[in-house]
Amino acid sequence: MSDDFLSRFHEEPRGEFAEDLKRRLRDIEVAEAEPAARRRGRAVPLLAGTAFAAAVALAFTLPPVRAAARNFLDLFRVKRFAAVPVDPDRLARIERGGLDLKSLVSEQVEVIEPARKPAPVDGPEAASAAAGLGVRQPSVLPRGAALAEVSVGHPGAFRVSLDVSKLELVARAVGVDDPDIPASWNGATLQVQAPPVVMMRYHRGTEDFMLLQSRNPEIEVPEGIDLARLGTLGLRMTGMTTEEARLFARTIDWRSTLLVPIPVQGGTFREVEVRGQKGLLVTSMQPPKPSADGTPRSGRWRSVLLWADGGEIFALDGPGQGIEILEMAQSIR
Amino acid sequence: MGGTRLLGWLVGAVEREPVDWSAVYEEELPRVYNFFRYRIGDRATAEDLTALAFEKAWRARRRYRRDRAAVSTWILAIARNVAIDYFRQTRLEVPIDDSDAERETPETVAVRHSDLRRLGALLGELPPRERELLALKFGAGATNRAIAKLTSLSESNVGTILHRTIGGLRAAWDAGGRR
């Protein structure tokens, strides 16, 4: 039975209306940016959504270059995570200043293998096969929680070409007056290969716990890049003074430590031990959801635990201040 | 973007791969607008309600969870609630508006006016549930599965209701107008 007579009245919204609404939505984004940064509870996500954060984080992940005699690429493997306090007001200032960081960064990124959306699989065994790793599961679950969904995502691979002039532009925009970036870095290419990610969602009432597991991402770094120097620059871009960045950088093993940006006014973080490995537990207060009748509600604590173990990296997210996810993580076999 | 994906993976448990809201706007605007066109009728109201739905979505966008629903379904759920609120306040459903046809020739305008009036009259006679399902299907282009999720009906029930409703409309349309 033809239903063309119904479809033919489909029409495009007026251009003037579409543009006007787009402006109104942009106004909402701008109005939210500063207060959201101030009241903060969503520590990690605040930066996760920005290309700037990605660029900084990527810089932090870079290992030192091996001996100059080596004429091939170095590899970086995550063994531990460390938190880096950042000043979210800097990001808000940049946005207000009109600097399009997203474009600046994206112009230097070349996608080698496109990301694919997570696809559900039948269970952990199927996920193991699809991701090419032995999926590990917790033997202890939070009371009332059960495995609800297993999926496998493919983050893909990409290449980042350093552009000294753009890097300096970004650095100066966030308040680093003397970036001092060697001209020889121009055109250096870093390649990131992110292996498949297994995501296991455990459900309880209205809450979810999410366990992610992946083989270590591989980051290839060309020789000639002083990555400790680049990392120090990244630290200054987060708001540290030159001296603070220098001291902090000395505590970092740039070959194996992945830094996670945490807004200074955001949640708390602490180092924890997970099955003999050092992990990072980040806790933040989530903004309250409005109730149907408009009565105020309080926010909820939420935590994420990051750790590496045996060539694989894990992230476990759940409600609360970390007690349940820590217990869950300790039971993963 | 690759860099975003890298960090997105690492903190994905809190906020999975970031949503490109600009792309969402471009993609979802016609669907939401046409949902209201089919559900409510006149163009001006459809624009007002579309704007209201998007503003609500934008203010709530940080609470969107990719693992719970596709972003298109999430926005349609907001649009649907906006329509429900609208009907609670107005208790009025009006025919599809055909007032903005200045770019067409007099002949096509005449035909189009006539067709729009006929369709508006037919839709106006539908019970609210049937009209809503048609708006989701033909206005928003939603699948039966997505409609089922939005309306809490079973997928087969959605298919049955749509089939019956379209059949009735088709017959009335072929008969020349009113059912």
- Prediction ipTM score: 0.76
From chain A, the residues in CB contact with B18 under 8 A are 48-49
Interface membership of A10 toward B (CB under 8 Å): yes
User: A54 and B138 in contact by Cβ < 8 A?
Assistant: no
Residue A284 in this model has a pLDDT that exceeds 70: yes
When CB atoms are compared, the residue of B10, B59, B170 closest to A306 is B10
Strands A80-86, A257-263: pairing kind: parallel
Strands annotated E in chain A: 74-76, 80-86, 109-113, 116-121, 146-154, 156-161, 189-194, 197-204, 207-215, 218-221, 257-263, 268-274, 277-286, 300-309, 312-319
> How far, in Å, are A106, A228, B18 from residue A48 at the CA level?
15, 23, 7
CB B41 within 8 A of CB B124: yes
User: B170 and A2 in contact by Cβ < 8 A?
Assistant: yes
What is the reported pLDDT for A10? 81
User: Is the pLDDT higher at B100 or at A235?
Assistant: A235
Most confidently modeled range among A134-143, A234-243, B16-25, B65-74: A134-143
What percent of chain A clears pLDDT 90, i.e. is strictly above it?
Answer: 17
User: B6 and A289 in contact by Cβ < 8 A?
Assistant: no
For residue range A6-23, list pLDDT tens digits in order: 876 788 999 999 999 998
For residue range B86-142, list pLDDT tens digits in order: 887 765 444 455 444 444 454 555 555 567 777 888 888 889 899 999 999 988 989
For residue range A248-261, list pLDDT tens digits in order: 778 777 777 777 76
- How many other C-beta atoms lie within 10 A of the C-beta of residue B129? 12
When CB atoms are compared, the residue of B13, B33, B96 closest to A315 is B13
> B1, B7, B35, B144: which to substitute to probe chain A, counting the most A Cβ within 10 Å?
B7
From chain B, the residues in CB contact with A201 under 8 A are 67
Q: For all residues of chain B together, what is the average pLDDT?
A: 77
What is the reported pLDDT for B15? 38
User: B55 and A109 in contact by Cβ < 8 A?
Assistant: no
Alpha-carbon gap: A225 to the closest alpha carbon of chain B (Å): 19
Residue B3 in this model has a pLDDT that exceeds 50: no
Percent helix, percent strand, percent coil in chain B, to nearest 5: 70, 0, 30
When CB atoms are compared, the residue of A45, A156, A192 closest to B11 is A45
Crossing angle between the packed helical segments A51-60 and B2-10, to the nearest 10 degrees: 70
Q: If contacts are CB pairs under 8 Å, which of residues 265-324 in chain A contact chain B?
A: 287, 289, 302, 304, 306, 313, 315-317
For residue range A105-133, list pLDDT tens digits in order: 656 778 888 877 788 999 999 999 999 99
Of the listed ranges A5-14, A265-274, B18-27, the one predicted with least confidence = A265-274
User: Is the pLDDT higher at A198 or at A71?
Assistant: A198
User: A14 and B34 in contact by Cβ < 8 A?
Assistant: no
Q: If contacts are CB pairs under 8 Å, which of residues 240-269 in chain A contact chain B?
A: 258, 260
Q: d(Cα A186, Cα A263) in Å, to the nearest integer?
A: 30
From chain B, the residues in CB contact with A54 under 8 A are 1, 3-4, 6-8
Average pLDDT over residues A157-177: 81
Alpha-carbon gap: A58 to the closest alpha carbon of chain B (Å): 7
User: A304 and B13 in contact by Cβ < 8 A?
Assistant: yes
User: B5 and A156 in contact by Cβ < 8 A?
Assistant: yes
Average pLDDT over residues A297-303: 73
Which residue intervals of A120-240 are DSSP H helices? 124-131, 164-173, 227-237
From chain B, the residues in CB contact with A106 under 8 A are 1
- Residue A40 banded pLDDT, cuts 50, 70, 90: very low
> A2, A4, A6, A304: which to substitute to probe chain B, counting the most B Cβ within 10 Å?
A6
Interface membership of A148 toward B (CB under 8 Å): no
User: B6 and A192 in contact by Cβ < 8 A?
Assistant: yes
Residue-wise DSSP of A38-83:
HH---HHHHHHT-HHHHHHHHHHTPPPP--TT--S-EEE---EEEE
What is the reported pLDDT for A201? 93
